Chains A and B, each alone.
Chain A
């Protein structure tokens, strides 16, 4: 079969035509996306200028200041866990959010897949709509219901369950809930599409062989969902770990995540190399997770053969 099915012109060589078609998009991404990353990499090894920007002096100060604080007077380095805590909190919050999304999404995706065709489509549209709604607005909406004088607390207090408003907002709990709320559709949809063509006769066979529901679920349903599980976890974990809006709007002072720390370095704190170094760490972390999952998915494929 010929590889060239959709061509524009016979007069120019196919290779040249492809280059002309592909070139602009690739060039735009290389110039405006890849080059900026390279600049960031260089900046992370430079010295901070006092009012933002950099001075062209090579130093690893930006990286070492993640772990150590330089004393103003005697220039000695002392270990400081502050930034490590922010980093650990980001991984932890994103991890919890991913696991909880999974717990909510697996039954939901399964349930949708077992609906009749018509209902299935309605469910899918309903799950998709929030994904299209502006993230800032969804985060504001969540803050609106979680506030001290918001509807949840109002109901709880009217029913006399609590006498004081519960501290639902401006803490780690709210941030985690915000991450789940932001990225839940990213988990449901891949799980559903992995499970969509499931052959229910496999379940029948399992029950015929005296499998309990538990065993049928863990040994038949979950393995079939696995590709969606991997894709969904990726789609939730990666935006969660670098999330800016959820910790910014729903969190308080002690719930800073790495995304906010990076943002601050380029806004009020004006320490570009430090921000660049943090960005490089976040980028590396993200790409490592991607690579690891891609390799796992690859292994899975070869196992099947």
Chain B
């Protein structure tokens, strides 16, 4: 009690001299500037995807025609489908591998856990371009022809740490007495895992999977090098379109991807909130 009152008194003496003690001049406007900087370009890009004219500089009325063009383009459909299939498989495989790894590393925090952690997060430490060319060289050296399969394999690898970290964090936050209590009630370790640990892990699994899914959808440079001539993904296709200059189609397809990413973030934020409640 006396603590609170003396702290209030100190606030009074401090504020009388200096005003709001938490505020620094200009910090608020710097933050607003930061947000404007982050959002203005994507908002402009999205706005001009609804422009009727062929020009990407002059506004000539609202229209959805570029979306119709994008949806009608078979190459874009194929690329988008490839991207989604690769992202779903890569995220799922990476999440399963990461679940095993996280369970094992949390168990043996004392022995060898550090080394395992370094290996599992190694893909995060290597510059992407190096991973990209090294994967290319590796696939050529072992004689796998470049295409869908090599893209998929490369994606699984760099998705592992992104799936691993949220699962590990969730697992470390779990109360270890819960599976112990299950064991006391004669649950086998397998039962304790599937009935107690796994359900509690669901938020970690979901956010790990989503993160891996988005990272896979997002990737350009690694995919570009291991894709070979035949296979393509959405980012590769957009990059190819850009070679012909900025067109309204680029705006439209970019806006679609923007929308998809935003929905995924909001879903993952929602999952996070549900996870916190438990």
Contacts and interface: CB of A to CB of B under 8 A. Distances in A.
Interface stretch (A57-65, A140-148, A224-232, A297-305): A140-148
Contacts of B239: 136
B188 A9 contact: yes
A66 interface: no
A266 B105 CA distance: 37
Interface residues of B, number: 103
A111 B48 contact: no
A10 B44 contact: no
Contact of A29 (B35, B48, B157): B157
A32 B57 CA distance: 45
A151 interface: yes
A108 B30 contact: yes
Given A33-B126, A290-B125, A127 B38 contact: yes
Contact of A6 (B45, B107, B125, B214): B107
Given A134-B235, A144-B48, A242-B127, A7 B107 contact: yes
Nearest to A4: B107
A262 B120 contact: no
Contact of B160 (A28, A35, A150): A28
B140 interface: yes
Given A29-B119, A125-B269, A134 B218 contact: yes
Interface string B95-126: 00110110111111110000010011011011
Interface stretch (A36-44, A68-76, A80-88): A36-44
A138 B42 contact: yes
A154 interface: yes
A33 B125 CA distance: 11
Contacts of A127: 34-35, 38
A244 B128 contact: yes
A166 interface: no
Contacts of B246: 140, 143-144, 147
B76 interface: no
B271 to A, nearest CB: 13
B70 interface: no
B140 A132 contact: no
A292 interface: no
B261 A36 contact: no
B165 interface: no
A201 B7 CA distance: 8
Instruction: Summarize A's interface: helix, strand, loop or mixed.
Output: helix
Nearest to B234: A134
B217 interface: yes
A140 B44 CA distance: 11
A268 interface: no
A35 B153 CA distance: 14
A172 to B, nearest CB: 19
Contacts of A4: 107-108
A71 to B, nearest CB: 28
B265 A25 contact: no
Given A8-B193, A24-B100, A36-B134, A141 B38 contact: no
B125 A286 contact: yes
Nearest to A20: B100
B98 A150 contact: no
A135 interface: yes
B258 A137 contact: yes
A91 interface: no
A179 interface: no
B199 interface: no
A6 B103 contact: yes
Interface in B58-105: 97-98, 100-101, 103-105
Given A132-B261, A138-B42, A188-B34, A279 B220 contact: no
Interface in A107-145: 107-108, 110-112, 114, 123, 125-130, 132-138, 140-145
B262 interface: yes
A136 B218 CA distance: 8
A245 interface: yes
A36 B127 contact: no
A265 B198 CA distance: 47
B179 to A, nearest CB: 6
Contact of B137 (A28, A39, A145): A39
A107 B127 CA distance: 29
B54 interface: no
Contact of B123 (A21, A29, A145): A29
Contact of A140 (B107, B119, B254): B254
B28 A111 contact: yes
Contacts of A189: none
B151 interface: no
24 contacts: A21-B104, A24-B100, A25-B164, A26-B120, A33-B123, A33-B126, A34-B119, A35-B138, A36-B138, A37-B130, A108-B31, A130-B38, A133-B258, A140-B242, A142-B41, A147-B246, A188-B34, A200-B21, A208-B13, A208-B14, A249-B242, A263-B221, A283-B130, A286-B127
